[in-house]
Amino acid sequence: RYEPTWGSLDARPLPAWFDEAKFGVFIHWGVFSVPSFGSEWFWWYWQKEKREPYVKFMDANYPPGFSYEDFGPLFTAEFFDPNQWADILKASGAKYVVLTSKHHEGFTLWGSKYSWNWNAVDVGPKRDLVAELATSVRNRTDLHFGLYHSLFEWFNPLFLEDATNAFNTSKFPTSKSLPELYEIVTKYQPEIIWSDGDGNAPDTYWNSTGFLAWLYNDSPVRDTVVTNDRWGAGSICAHGGFYTCSDRYNPGRLLPHKWENCMTIDRGSWGYRRDARLWDYLPIEDLVKQLVETVSCGGNLLMNIGPTHDGRIAVVFEERLRQVGSWLEVNGEAIYGTKPWRAQNDTVTPGVWYTFTPKEGKVNAIFLNWPVSGILELGEPRAKPGETQVKLAGYRELLKWVALGEKGMVIALPQLTPQQMPCQWGWTLQLTDVD
């Protein structure tokens, strides 16, 4: 059994499915999707920091005295079709999904008995959004279902009182935050608990180790659940299951501990923004590049979308997700279930990243630029004349190659028209019998 100490909890092996999955979709949805302006931190920027664009936006569009709570009934979700969401998630090639069950605004997407009249069953949609999505994902896909949960709440009076007492009192975690965590685990059995928002309070204030010991020992998901590293000030990148280290974390090198790059398709926000422009959305080339770089360095990619207040996944998000899925249909063998190779990227040709498929003993060289010459030089693999074989994923015939001394090889790519290409945005060479 795990003790409620970091020493004991950190020794728990990460369930194997998480490392094999490689790619997940993050969904930021909540009351902030109603103003859908600027950022999901709308309430904080408007009321606490009083940032000019937010104040102006409210003055111009809402009556005097309009409060953030007044957005609650406007969070309607009338177009939310969990089956359609599940089908889009499946088409993306993702192996897991993480939904914001509660963001820093404190509004829960399920009918929490600890969030009276500030939840999706009492206010707004009048639906249990967590339950509906969980059911559709489990019935229609093989994705693992996960939940994001914010420890703190910006304006909760109990949290503010504890903060005033320098966190020597713990009214908020004992009456709100922890009961909610136990509630979502027991009720929805998520296989990922993605914690966030420590409010600058230490893990001892949140009793994170106590909760995690229960999660790993006695909860209904004790054998399969994975957690991240955001369990209190100082725990990020140091304690917990997989490390996130920071938002949009992409170190570009191999790390000794399992990590995740959580990032957004919309460069400027995690929640939906009505004021986003086309160039605010990362193009598919960038998304494939992020995925390849992340996986070759031992990480998972968690790619975020923000649905609208009425429950739609905007078509630009859907298109990006389906594009990633179409790329993975051809190149998935170089991503899912792979391990980092001895070299992460090539020493001679930039934009080439390596992964290793242990089952077949294959080295995958994923190259992001198709050379004009039709010749690709790799500086890392040690090829064996007469033994090494080179294949292009999605193309039938073996490719011709020449070894360059002890290390490195030159590969002749097939001459293909754009229509004959197995895919776009990045290609995989599968090398067998190389050192």
Give me the domains of the chain, ranges plus CATH numbers.
6-334 (3.20.20.80), 339-432 (2.60.40.1180)
Report the C-alpha gap between 279 and 260 in whole angstroms: 25
Report the C-alpha gap between 337 and 295 in whole angstroms: 10
Torsion-angle region of 311 (φ positive above 0: left; ψ -120 to 50: alpha; else: beta):
left
| pLDDT tens digits, one per residue of 143-193 | 999 999 999 999 999 999 999 999 999 999 999 999 999 999 999 999 999
Token pair of 309 as six digits: 């207040």
Percent of the chain with pLDDT over 90: 99
| pLDDT tens digits, one per residue of 353-412 | 999 999 999 999 999 999 999 999 999 999 999 999 999 999 999 999 999 988 999 999
Report the C-alpha gap between 236 and 247 in whole angstroms: 11
Parallel, antiparallel, or unpaired: how do β-strands 96-102 and 144-150 relate? parallel
Which residues, listed in sequence order, are joined to residue 252 by a DSSP beta bridge?
A: none
| pLDDT tens digits, one per residue of 285-315 | 999 999 999 999 999 999 999 999 999 999 9
66 in Cβ contact with 58 (< 8 Å)? yes
Q: Mean pLDDT across the chain, nearest whole number?
A: 97
Report the C-alpha gap between 38 and 273 in whole angstroms: 6
Contacts of 304 (CB under 8 A, 6+ apart): 25, 26, 27, 28, 262, 263, 264, 265, 266, 270
Q: Please compute Rg for the chain using Cα positions.
A: 23
Give CA torsion, residues 307, 74, 130, 157, to 10 deg: 110
| pLDDT tens digits, one per residue of 85-96 | 999 999 999 999
Report the C-alpha gap between 421 and 400 in whole angstroms: 18
With tokens 């995925």, the residue in question is: 291
Average pLDDT over residues 45-59: 98
pLDDT of residue 405: 87
